[in-house]
Amino acid sequence: MASIQLPKNLDLAGWESRVMGCWLGKAVGGTLGGPHEGKSGPLKLDFYDPVPTQVLPNDDLDLQVVWLCYLLTNGCKEVTPDLLSDAWHKHVVFPWDEYGICHRNGAYGLKGYQLGSVDNFFGECMGAAIRSELWACLAPGDPKRAAALAWSDAACDHAGDGIWAEVFFAALESAAFVEHDRDTLIDLGLSYLPANSRVKDAIQLTRASWAKKKDWLAVREDILAAHENPNFTDVAANLAFTILGWLAGEGDFGKSICIANNCGMDTDCTAATLGSILGIIDPKCIPDKWTKPIGDAVILNPQIVHLQNIPKNLQELTEQTMRLAGQLADSKPAIKEIVSRAPQRDGDTLLQIPVEIGFAERAALSSETVPTSLVPKVSVTLPGHWIRRDAKEFQAPVMLLHYTINLKEDEHVQFLAWSQTNTRIWVDGNGVIPAAADAVAARRPQQGAPSFHRGGRGHFALSTPLKAGKHELVVAWEWPHFVADLVVGVANAQSKQWLPFALLKK
């Protein structure tokens, strides 16, 4: 068994029981929230809907199983963003949001914190916060160590508060192995966050509002008034919903995870994380009525590939977690650089995307042919796929950006030209129709994100493959009345994965 040094008030049996409770609570919460992910809320669930016959696969757990199996199989003695990025590229084919960015930035050869911080619109989403439990289980009662391990994970695909969110949960969950007072645990987690953290502000607001109103629906409105975001996976409001479920649940497991879920937005994440916290604090708090429908099997999504030694059930997952703790016992993790979520600055040369920029009248947005620029086009090099511009930088109602697409082979492609304002694109002089929303995205009223798997505004697709070689992509971007973002990219239409080098100069 693992040779780590356990805290004085935690014996081997207690550690194993709480690790098991963590994974069971995670499975229950994820299965509750999975069918309702992306719904704006408030919802009215008091049990599974629909009632499952087995646990639902969930990327919240999938990626932690990947880290666990990869580190064990390869005998790794430390945890770094580069190691986890290698595991990601070998075993994960999710194209979603920040996950797709990790694939793309790894293909560019980026390392360390740059994997998640460079050109990443999704740097402050929920994808890292939901992976905190493994690091807490590997460092029970040692929140500083758990937080440092969590940094290596979050840096793969996040920046700013996207990383701090996982640090917060990992530290809190690690302490929960030996400390069971809710407010003490929240205070400890907050102590790891910087003063300017949106996550910290959202959690503090939630606690203050709950102390005053004692009504979770009213507190939810306060959270949304301060932290609502068009992208339902944004981290600040979702972390606040997790804490709200804990506060309003009055110690009842089912009530707590249902309130977190019923707040809406990233429901599988909020309910699963809270379920794991409660399972660590008291493994016996999870009623049989919640565990019987899902069983104890570990079921992964089919996008997890070529992975060895996958645990068959939660007991095997627990045993492997404890074994990995011993394998990593001599490592000395540390929280390293965390940079803010922002587009690359003009002049940065890490990513170079050559474009020609011109300007046109508003009628360009409905033109079937490429509009003629009102002024001579200017050649520039953009510092990434994601740029931010102020209204004063527009010389006319529409900015025209002329990109060169480079394809190594014939490819059925999909395009992003996403902004808070309207966009339109042409390829080789021909207008391209908007891409249809997929079945999951269609039920989500909030479409504020430039990811290839989401349909809606700013997504375009060709009906036939694009031939290998060079092509012209022209993007028309409507003048904003405010500072606006533009994300432009090319993906494989089937896999929804970025074609990393389609637009880059080098």
Tokens of 27: 């499975």
Residue 155: CB partners within 8 Å, gap ≥ 6?
Answer: 81, 112, 113, 115, 116, 117, 163, 336, 338
Coil, strand or helix: which one is 463?
coil
**Vertex 364 angle, CA 426 and 358, to 5°:** 80
Q: Rounded to whole angstroms, how far apart are CA atoms 458 and 231?
A: 14
pTM attached to this predicted model: 0.95
Could you report the per-residue pLDDT of 161-177, keeping only the tens digit for each? 999 999 999 999 999 99
Please report the pLDDT score of residue 444 as a whole number.
46
Highest CATH level, class, for 353-492:
mainly beta
Nearest CA among 453, 368, 462, 354 for reference residue 410: 462
Q: Rounded to whole angstroms, how far apart are CA atoms 202 and 326?
A: 36
Alpha helices in 74-96 (DSSP H): 81-91
Q: Rounded to whole angstroms, how far apart are CA atoms 252 and 142?
A: 26
Q: Rounded to whole angstroms, how far apart are CA atoms 422 and 433?
A: 14
Say if CB 303 and CB 63 are below 8 A apart. Answer: no
Supply φ then ψ for residue 283, to 5 degrees.
-60, -20
Q: Rounded to whole angstroms, how far apart are CA atoms 37 and 63?
A: 18
Highest CATH level, class, for 32-43+50-327:
mainly alpha
Say if CB 132 and CB 169 are below 8 A apart. Answer: yes
Residue 301 C-alpha from the chain's centroid:
16
Alpha helices in 398-461 (DSSP H): 439-442
Please report the pLDDT score of residue 443 as a whole number.
45
Which contiguous run of DSSP H or E holds residue 260? Answer: helix 253-262
Q: Rounded to whole angstroms, how far apart are CA atoms 154 and 329?
A: 21
Q: Delimit the domains of the chain by residue range.
A: 32-43+50-327, 353-492
Please report the pLDDT score of residue 442 as a whole number.
45
Q: What is the pLDDT along the chain (506 residues), one digit of tens a residue?
A: 447 889 999 999 999 999 999 999 999 999 999 999 999 999 999 999 999 999 999 999 999 999 999 999 999 999 999 999 999 999 999 999 999 999 999 999 999 999 999 999 999 999 999 999 999 999 999 999 999 999 999 999 999 999 999 999 999 999 999 999 999 999 999 999 999 999 999 999 999 999 999 999 999 999 999 999 999 999 999 999 999 999 999 999 999 999 999 999 999 999 999 999 999 999 999 999 999 999 999 999 999 999 999 999 999 999 999 999 999 999 999 999 999 999 999 999 899 999 999 999 999 999 999 999 999 999 999 999 999 999 999 999 999 999 999 999 999 999 999 999 999 999 999 999 888 654 444 444 445 689 998 877 899 998 899 999 999 999 999 999 889 999 999 999 999 999 999 999 86
Please report the pLDDT score of residue 445 as a whole number.
41
Q: Rounded to whole angstroms, how far apart are CA atoms 232 and 458?
A: 17
Please report the pLDDT score of residue 505 as a whole number.
83
